[in-house]
Amino acid sequence: MTDYTEMWTSLGLDVDGHNALLAGLGKAYTDIFLSQKDRPEGMKYFDFVMSEVHGLRIKELVDAKAAGKKVIGSYCVFVPEELVLAVDGVAVGLCAGAELNFEAAETLLPRNTCSLIKSAFGFKLGKLCPYVESCDVIVGENTCDGKKKAYEILGPLVKDLYVMDLPQTRSEMAKKLLKEEYRKFIAKLEDVSGKKVTPASLRKAIEIVNAKRKAVIRLAAIRAADPAPISGLDSLLVNQVFFHDDPVRFTDAVNKLCDELEERVKHHKGVFPRGTTRVIVSGCPMAVPNWKLPMLIETGNTVIVGEESCVGERGSRWLTEVKGNTVDEILDAITDRYFNIDCAIFTPNPSRVNYIKEMTKKLHADGVIHYSLQFCQPYIMESGPVEKELEKSGIPTLRLETDYSLEDAGQLKTRLEAFNERLKKK
Ligand code: BJ8
């Protein structure tokens, strides 16, 4: 195994703390992922990516920087990857999914902050994330109140925090605001990279990002099969790697995986027996290594067949239309695409629940598990009306609130078992 100590040291990481993190991550990965039966061969690529997620991939970022490229990190799917690629930059997702260094995070943030935000601070304060430390610019977005205020606190801790405003309603004015914010973001990217966004660079970037989305859309569609050809855990992993990997290489690996899964479907081969209870998980995004809930669901004889989440279909189901001849016209197409994202920060937000219903139908799911992180107001507030609407449409729904700790694992397991019983009787 390559020794990356020098690279991590030069990035300013706390090498001992980071080694402990990697050891924990490796063990969790072995226990949760490698112990699954009949995994597709194509998952080997993702196992490799995960084994090198703080190694080879970071080396690639360091090399890209040495070659003059800029690394742009973000915490939200509203930050267009197309714009980063159009200045020949590298886009990386920074959301964090581990309960690490929360004590330090709580010296800056209220205790009742969601785990996603606390984790980002825990990683930063503990100098544990080589992605954060590799970034030339970190983009914050004004979405939920927690993130908005957290970025004010994060600003002085990082090299260059760029905050983007976002609309929260669906009006023409709101769309104009989004486009204006994207225009300002282009100016920022041009400034840091010294490169100009052109119609040609935008078109090429759209092509790359659309191809990546098409690959995960293909994967999502294959999961309609019974028996399920791939576990929800492995599919979630693919959707998590979406935010870290080189986009072209990732697209290729997902398409190869899909070729294999389509063969499996032809031969009725699955990772769970035919007729296993099927659920959709909907709600807050799950960042690496937040695998607790899917693990509990799938070790309880239920298979996850779709994620209505930003690490899942909400993040990838829309393509950017390739239209327009000028930067301004192409930016209209990009804005149109992103304005569809039905995050719970929008009000009202009917398309989200409508899409959960659509997913349930097309993926032949028996029920929906609504997942909110504790203290996440947008998704917790929306979960009540979502549950009501789904139940009214005959879709059994279980609402769960949890965090990154394992303390509630037993309690969650009991509730999942009871829900599974309900679905079996349907
Ligand atoms: S588009 S879901 S990635 S904002 S869990 S930090 S909402 S309190 S992550 Fe998100 Fe963009 Fe929306 Fe998607 Fe706040 Fe909730 Fe915490 Fe959250």
What is the average per-residue pLDDT within 165-183?
97
What is the average per-residue pLDDT within 181-204?
98
- Ligand 1 neighbours by CB, cut-off 6 Å: 76-78, 114, 116-117, 143-144, 146-147, 284-285, 310, 341, 343, 345, 373, 376, 378-379
Q: What is the pLDDT of residues 91-129, one digit of tens each?
A: 999 989 999 999 999 999 999 999 999 999 999 999 999
**CA 174 to centroid of ligand 1, rounded, Å:** 19
Nearest CA to ligand 1 atom 10: 76
**CA 144 to centroid of ligand 1, rounded, Å:** 6
71 forms beta bridges with 90
Q: Flag whether the pTM goes above 0.85.
A: yes
Query: Residue 345: pLDDT above 90?
Result: yes
Of 78, 143, 290, which is best to mutate to test ligand 1, by the most ligand atoms within 8 angstroms of its C-beta? 143
What letter represents residue 201's amino acid? S
Query: Residue 28: pLDDT above 80?
Result: yes
CA angle (250, 255, 261) in 5-degree steps: 125
Phi, psi for 402 (deg, rounded to 5): -150, -175
Quote the strand ranges of 348-407, DSSP E: 367-373, 397-402
Of 81, 111, 114, 149, which is best to mutate to test ligand 1, by the most ligand atoms within 8 angstroms of its C-beta? 114
Nearest CA to ligand 1 atom 11: 76
Average model confidence (pLDDT) across the chain: 97
pLDDT band at 277 (very low <50, low <70, confident <90, very high): very high
92 forms beta bridges with 73
Q: Return the pLDDT at 95.
A: 84
**Site of tokens 């679905």:** 423
**CA 253 to centroid of ligand 1, rounded, Å:** 28
Nearest CA to ligand 1 atom 4: 143
**CA 408 to centroid of ligand 1, rounded, Å:** 22
Q: What is the pLDDT of residues 127-154, one digit of tens each?
A: 999 999 999 999 999 999 999 999 999 9
**CA 143 to centroid of ligand 1, rounded, Å:** 7
> 319, 313, 311: which is closest to 338 by C-alpha?
319
